[in-house]
Amino acid sequence: MDRRTMLILAAGMTAEAAATIADPWERLSRALSGPQTLDEDTIERLEARTIGFHRLEYVLPARAIYQGLTTHINELSNLLQSGPPDRFRRRLAATAGEAATLASWIAWDLKQPGQSASFERVSALAAKESGHPIIQACTYAYKSYAVEGHAAYEAVRQAQQFLPTQGDDATRAWLLSREAEELAALGDRRAIDLLHQAEEAYGRARPHRERAWTRFLDPGRMAAFQLSTYVRLGDEHRVIEAGQAALSAISQDADHKKVAVIYADIAQAQLQIGDVAEGTAYARRALESAQRSESTWGLQHLTKVEKALATQPEQAAKELLGDIASTRRTLGSSPA
């Protein structure tokens, strides 16, 4: 996706609207001619736009897409209120739910917990109306990132209750990986079995054809889940292997939010094995990536790194701690 396409989507515009932007008279004429007939092409464009916003979330700061996303949700709401035929209503409700669950996550990242909760309620209603309860799985998966400890684990388990018995393997792989991470954080080595189950599900998955939110799941992200899990378990041997796999996967990656998390995990692993210089260097890279993406999520992953750095006498570690603290003040503290 090139930058122009990103900006078009971030502005809440369809590609068709952007193509006619140079001819405002034609656009005004079309607008004055009355509402357009809702048809298959219109539904597909709206679904594609929701997918586009999910893709933009990987690479752009939350603030850059929030307004466009809420405009998109308003348009979907207006169409749903217009009494569309049943064959379109369920699809509109589903894509509205997929958009609302992303809006809830972004509102949390923007320190707007009230708005986040409102969009969460909307996504739940849309999941019920559309007959796609799996939308709730995405909502609870996002929520698991906003809390810690047993609360995060319970959010993942709640998400799994909305999975179908078969199919949706990309979402299944994501949730199994998240469960592995949270079990590992609790010191439970059953996390390793869950990683194997996640890999099996990923082998069956088609992330780019399943759900709007599953486009992010690629070999790099799966490697990052493995790295995070082994770091939390303190498994130094597997951390080295998983770290190399994750680094190889992000060598050409422009997703600074994901990169920030991977670098933070590698930093934590290096500090655990006593390599302060490497740990500090990777933590610095994690911070820079989090700054570029304005990612609260990325900063969260630096919390344990901060604790480890606080015990180090090196000047580089002290300077990095100061920069992390400054960045937290700039972006604000998490509402969680």
Q: How confident is the model over 257-284, as pLDDT tens digits?
A: 778 888 888 888 888 888 899 899 999 9
Q: What is the mean pLDDT of residues 180-184?
A: 96
Domain boundaries, the chain: 40-132, 144-207, 218-336
Vertex 256: Cα angle to 209 and 143 (nearest 5): 65
Q: What is the pLDDT of residue 115?
A: 94
Q: When comparing pLDDT for 22 and 202, which is higher?
A: 202
Nearest to 46 by CA among 80, 20, 23, 22: 80
Instruction: Specify the range with the lowest mean pLDDT, choosing from 130-134, 223-227, 295-299.
Output: 295-299
Q: What is the pLDDT of residue 268?
A: 87
Q: What is the pLDDT of residue 152?
A: 95
Q: What is the pLDDT of residue 252?
A: 57
5-to-13, 16, 56, 98, 102 alpha-carbon distances in Å: 10, 12, 10, 20, 19
Residue 224 pLDDT exceeds 70: yes
Where do we find the tokens 């929701």? 50
Q: What is the mean pLDDT of residues 185-210?
A: 96
> DSSP assignment, residue 35?
P
Instruction: Specify the range with the lowest mean pLDDT, choosing from 10-24, 93-107, 138-152, 279-293.
Output: 10-24
Q: What's the pTM?
A: 0.81
Q: How confident is the model at residue 38 (pLDDT cuts 50, 70, 90)?
A: confident
- At 75, which amino acid appears? E
Q: What is the pLDDT of residue 93?
A: 94
Averaged confidence pLDDT in the chain? 85
Q: What is the pLDDT of residue 298?
A: 79
Q: What is the pLDDT of residue 118?
A: 94
Q: When comparing pLDDT for 5 and 68, which is higher?
A: 68
Q: What is the mean pLDDT of residues 190-208?
A: 97
Q: What is the mean pLDDT of residues 37-62?
A: 88
Residue 330 pLDDT exceeds 50: yes
Q: What is the mean pLDDT of residues 140-147?
A: 93
57-to-22, 62, 107, 108, 126 alpha-carbon distances in Å: 28, 7, 12, 13, 21
Q: When comparing pLDDT for 136 and 251, which is higher?
A: 136
CATH node for 218-336:
1.25.40
- Rounded Cα distance, 94 and 145, in Å: 23
Q: When comparing pLDDT for 74 and 256, which is higher?
A: 74
Residue 33 pLDDT exceeds 80: no
Q: What is the mean pLDDT of residues 18-33?
A: 45
Chain center to CA of 232: 21
Residue 8 pLDDT exceeds 60: no
Q: Kindly state the percentage of the chain with pLDDT values over 90.
A: 49
pLDDT in tens, 120-141: 999 999 999 999 999 999 999 9
Q: What is the pLDDT of residue 28?
A: 44
Q: How many helices (H) and strands (E) does the chain have?
A: 18, 0
Q: Kindly state the percentage of the chain with pLDDT values over 70.
A: 86
Residue 2 pLDDT exceeds 70: no
